[in-house]
Amino acid sequence: MKLNFCKIGVVVVALSVVSCSGFNKLRKSNNPELKYQKALEYFNQGKYNRTAMLLYDISSIYGGSSKGDTIAYYYGAALYRDGDFEGSGSVFDNFRRYYPRSPFLEDAEYMYAKGIYYTSPRPERDQTNTMRAISAITEYLNRYPESTKKEALEDNLKELQQKLYDKSLMSSRLYYDIGYYNSAVTALQNALELYPETNHRELILYLIVRSHYMYARNSVESKQRERYLAMQDAYYNFVSEYPQSQYSKDVEKMQAEAKKYLARFSEMETKAPSDTVVSDRERRRLERIERRKTRVENRELREEDKELSAMDKEIDNNSSSIVRKPKADKETRRTENTKAEHGN
């Protein structure tokens, strides 16, 4: 039995060597028609790498002939099926310009758009290719509104748009996470202006309130009044849109703190200046009262710090559950596994 297995292995290796040798001879031959026919055979067999090499060899020979669009189409399709989406995208982009009346045009434009879609990275990375894919798929759908691939491509568009929403949230949230609260307000507001329809809108508006609050709370006393007022504007904007939000309890606490500070500030402003000479005993009594207030406020702030830390953890959990890697569709999985299925 062992001997039989060894014989089978030798035969497989021998056939592989003969096959490679035959292919190399084919590439070196001066018979472009044979290369053309064999390339199409290899394509139908799923040997896309060999197809691409043979068609590349003869592309300059048949470029201006009646076979030009067929060679260009199958060359791009072989690259696409082999997972070289950048290469296939370049081929199909040229195909659209040089062969606008080809019967392969619709399929070529589909693979052009879909190939860019496959190059779209995770939300954490630069989303230039995501925007390119959105543009290409939208162009295809506008040009072929009755396409059988319409529904799948519309799902792809939703997935790509979600990546932009997720990226926008991550980028603007970064300023909040590192404690740059004033910059966080600007970044978060810009994110809403750019994508007002984002499904992260509630969280972003909440973070704007939190950023205003933290910015005011950590400011020097001379700046706190105007910054707490700005926080209240953000608070009213939030509750008007989301009166029953999951973050309502937190924003109400921040609003209460802002009101408390502003009320105390107003009380200090309304006190008339006194010309009465305060005795040393009375002055020391007032100082003790003020120190006790300060100790109580500091203790309250420490407790609030603990609550805010817990809030941050909850926000992190909510964000991580929202921003997740989308599931690959059937064609994505098939294309990604092409090399494994049709290895050369």
SS3 182: helix
Q: What is the DSSP string of 267-292?
A: HHHHSPPP-SPPPHHHHHHHHHHHHH
For residue 284, how far is the Cα from the chain centroid? 61
pLDDT (0 to 100) of residue 24: 85
Q: Residue ranges of the alpha helices (H) in 45-122? A: 48-62, 68-81, 85-98, 105-118
Sequence-ordered list of residues with C-beta below 8 angstroms from that of 287, at least 6 positions apart, any chain: none
Alpha-carbon gap, residue 52 to 43, rounded angstroms = 9
Provide block-wise average pLDDT over 10 residues at a time, the chain (344 residues): 42 44 82 91 95 92 85 96 95 94 96 97 95 97 96 97 96 94 96 96 96 92 90 95 94 91 68 51 61 62 66 65 51 45 38
Q: Domains in the chain and their CATH numbers?
A: 24-164 (1.25.40.10), 167-267+311-322 (1.25.40.10)
Give the CA distances from residue 238 to residues 105, 170, 190, 259, 275, in Å, rounded to whole numbers and listed in that order.
Answer: 50, 20, 16, 17, 46
Residue pointed to by tokens 């109400």: 252
